[in-house]
């Protein structure tokens, strides 16, 4: 099998499955939002021209930060806690959250922003730690750093 075909088959399976970690915790879900529509919004608006986004074909750019493990992140725009309502606000008007940010406003509607945020919260949700955010990681969980790190926000 050609190398490109070996990569295309798993990517197609992931795309048809509808995302990365579809069983996100209730605290990360948005009422009325749809992760499949969110994935489509992210693809259609070209978010992948700046970000690496798992489950979105062609989203492999490094202009902005990679959106891998999104559900495990602590902050949105470096300013607000990473909770669904704040992500929706960020997607609607990034400059209102973080003036001077390179993140442009792409003209999403409220519904599109909710769907896109719902999709983002599927990325890494299955790997959220059982211990509450802000609690120090155990010595076996912190990786090679000599000092303990804090658990990401849920």
pLDDT digits (tens, 9 = 90+) for 140-152: 555 555 555 555 5
**Least trusted range by pLDDT, from 8-17, 70-79, 103-112:** 8-17
Per-residue pLDDT at 11 exceeds 50 = no
Closest CA to 152 of 64, 136, 97, 85: 136
Which residue did the predictor score with more confidence, 38 or 152?
Answer: 38
Domains delineated in the chain: 34-127 (2.60.40.420)
Q: Is residue 115 a contact partner of residue 42, using CB atoms and an 8 Å limit?
A: no
Say what the pTM is: 0.68
């Amino acid at each position: 099998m050609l190398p490109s075909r070996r990569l295309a088959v798993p990517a197609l399976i992931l795309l048809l499955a509808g995302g990365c970690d579809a069983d996100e915790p209730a605290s990360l879900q948005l009422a009325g939002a749809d992760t499949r529509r969110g994935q489509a919004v992210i693809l259609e608006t070209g978010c992948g021209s700046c970000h690496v986004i798992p489950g979105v074909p062609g989203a492999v750019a490094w202009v902005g930060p990679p959106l891998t493990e999104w559900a495990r992140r602590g902050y949105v725009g470096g300013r607000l806690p990473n909770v669904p309502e704040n992500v929706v606000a960020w997607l609607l008007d990034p400059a209102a959250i973080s003036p001077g940010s390179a993140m442009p406003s792409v003209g999403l509607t409220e519904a599109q922003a909710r769907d896109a945020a719902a999709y983002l919260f599927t990325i890494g949700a299955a790997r959220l730690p059982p211990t509450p955010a802000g609690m120090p990681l155990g010595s076996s969980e912190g990786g090679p750093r000599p000092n303990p790190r804090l658990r990401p926000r849920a």
